[in-house]
Amino acid sequence: MSESLAGPGTARPEGADHPAPDTPRIPTYWLGLMAGPLSFGIAGPALVLDDIARDLSTTTGTVTWGVTAFGWGIAVGTPLMTGLLRHRGARAALAGCGALVLLGALLVLAVPALPAVIIGCALQALGTAGLTSIAMSLTNSARSMGFVTASLAVVGSTAPLVGSLVNDAINWQATLALPALSLIALLVIIGRASTRPTSTAAFDGLGAVLLTAVVTALVFVPHYPAIAGVLSVLTIAALVWHLRVKPQGFVPAVVVRSPVFLISSVLAFLLAAVNFGLMFAVPNSLSDHTSWSSGTIGGAMVWPLLLGGALSWLVVALSAKVGRQPVIFTLLALSAVGVLLASVSTVAILLLLAQALASIAAASGQGVFAVHSTKAVPDEERPAAIGLFNLFYLLGAAFGPAIVSLL
């Protein structure tokens, strides 16, 4: 397919890897460093929750509300902060997200109290979700997109171990503040980022509120299925109605009505659900069918997740040359084989192989399908597409473990 320049309002052709007009060129490694620390907030506290509970004189179950707050923050912050990017430009969005991360980190470092921990985790999540989406929007090729998504997977695979080591060397508050490492890259990127908004439309406040309500309801479906399920249906209906009234609002109709965007997002959701579901199921199977200690199981789980994250960069980079359909079929096949192995096997090496296959598929899928989904929409709606696409992926990460627990 021959290349053609994609001007504003024009969807880029499938093979085009060049950035949209006026997209600043920023070294990929800085984008990866800005995005990757988000994973510390998701998985970093996994091995230190007992220490936090003991120091705060509460239960481990209560402390996990900090993790829940982080999950809510990245789900809500992903579309909200990309809305800021659309209407205020990359530099203003980076400044706003950086301020949220810094304030959240200062809270968890300076105030060892449960309310401060929960609020601090939520603020860091809102900020790092925006920084991650902005990093993805600043990529200019499949290779650079793959590096950004691979950084998330690689950091996530080592986050529990790193969090535990930081806790031992400093304290658990430093572990909770690890997402603030993204600020190192922000200080470099913000001076090179564009100040030009991608959308000149008036800010759609009602659309932002409705989308926040939808995301909040969906995040709590695994925890409170009945109430959150009903609220999800109601808020989605209200958002659809609003979309018909204001098609160029906070959720652009041109994005959610794109078949390529919807298919890419649903596939990313499915791959994420499988991967994060197996991250819950495989350790349980290893505990049931081996004599390994919990520490041994935790260490063994690092290599398949790390392998998946590392290989995903190569897969995403090659996807631009191989073509869409072969890559889609390969990723779905890897995920399906992972589910099959985890379902029928009790052998440790096969269970770990199942996790590795699912990890490769999900981490690669996030990069590959992000590229596909953003090429299918006008250039000025690329930030919105990335925010909504990442929202689908994050919901898959939330629903996967919940589905496994029900099964």
Taking only the tens place, the pLDDT of each residue in 10-19 is: 344 344 444 4
Task: Please determine, for residue 20, whether its predicted confidence score (pLDDT) is greater than 60.
Answer: no
In this predicted structure, what is the pLDDT of residue 195? 67
Percent of the chain predicted with pLDDT > 70: 91
Task: Please give the average per-residue pLDDT across 59-88, as a whole number.
Answer: 84
* 11 bridge partner residues: 378
DSSP states along 27-75: -HHHHHHHHTTHHHHHHGGGGTHHHHHHHTTS-HHHHHHHHHHHHHHHH
Find all residues with CB under 8 Å of 254, minimum gap 6, and list them: 247, 377, 378, 381
Q: What is the pLDDT of residue 11?
A: 40
> With contact defined as beta carbons under 8 Å apart, do 56 and 113 qualify?
yes
Q: What is the pLDDT of residue 12?
A: 44
Task: Name the DSSP class of 138.
Answer: T
Supply the mean pLDDT for the chain: 84
What φ, ψ does residue 378 adopt, rounded to 5°? -60, 150
C-alpha dist (Å) from residue 380 to 55, 213, 245, 400: 48, 25, 20, 32
The answer to whether residue 124 scores a pLDDT higher than 80 is yes
DSSP secondary-structure letter at 141?
Answer: S
* pTM as predicted: 0.79
Task: Point out which residues pair with 378 in neighbouring strands.
Answer: 11
| 325 Cβ contact list (under 8 Å, min separation 6) | none
* Alpha helices in 290-407, H assignment, sequence order: 294-322, 324-344, 348-375, 382-406
Which one, of 15, 19, 363, lies nearest residue 157 by Cα? 363
CATH of 252-406, one of 1.10.3470.10, 1.20.1250.20, 1.10.357.10, 3.10.105.10: 1.20.1250.20
Q: Vertex 193, ends 190 and 196: CA angle to 5°?
A: 130
pLDDT for 342 beyond 80 = yes
Task: Provide the pLDDT for residue 234.
Answer: 95
pLDDT of 406: 67
Query: Is 57's pLDDT higher than 80?
Result: yes
Kindly tell me the burial class for residue 7, based on how many C-beta atoms sit within 10 Å of its own C-beta (0-12, 13-18, 19 or more).
Answer: exposed
- HEC letters along 241-295: HHHHHCCCCCCCHHHHCCHHHHHHHHHHHHHHHHHHHHHHHHHHHHHHHCCCCHH
Averaged pLDDT, 160-170? 88
Lowest mean pLDDT among 125-129, 321-325, 337-341: 321-325
**What superfamily in CATH does domain 24-202 come from?**
MFS general substrate transporter like domains (1.20.1250.20)
158 against 199, higher pLDDT: 158
CA distance 249 to 243: 7
- Per-residue confidence at 91, pLDDT binned at 50, 70, 90? confident
Alpha carbons 401 and 222: distance in angstroms, whole number? 9
Q: What is the CA radius of gyration of the chain?
A: 20
Residue 191 has pLDDT above 90, yes or no: no
- Go through 324-346 and write b for each residue having 16 or more CB atoms within 10 A of its CB, e for each that does not: beebbebbbebbeebbebbeeee
Mean pLDDT over 131-152 rounds to 86
Confidence band, pLDDT 50/70/90 cuts, at residue 200: low
What pLDDT score does 13 carry? 38
Q: Which two tokens stand for residue 137?
A: 């929007």
Delimit the domains of the chain by residue range: 24-202, 203-250, 252-406
Residue with the larger pLDDT of the pair 115 and 382: 115
Mean pLDDT, range 81-104, rounded to an integer:
88
Q: Please compute the mean of the pLDDT values over residues 265-290 and round it to a whole number.
A: 87
How many residues are listed for the chain in this entry?
Answer: 407
Mean pLDDT of 209-219: 89
Whether residue 223 is predicted with pLDDT greater than 80 in this model: the reply is no
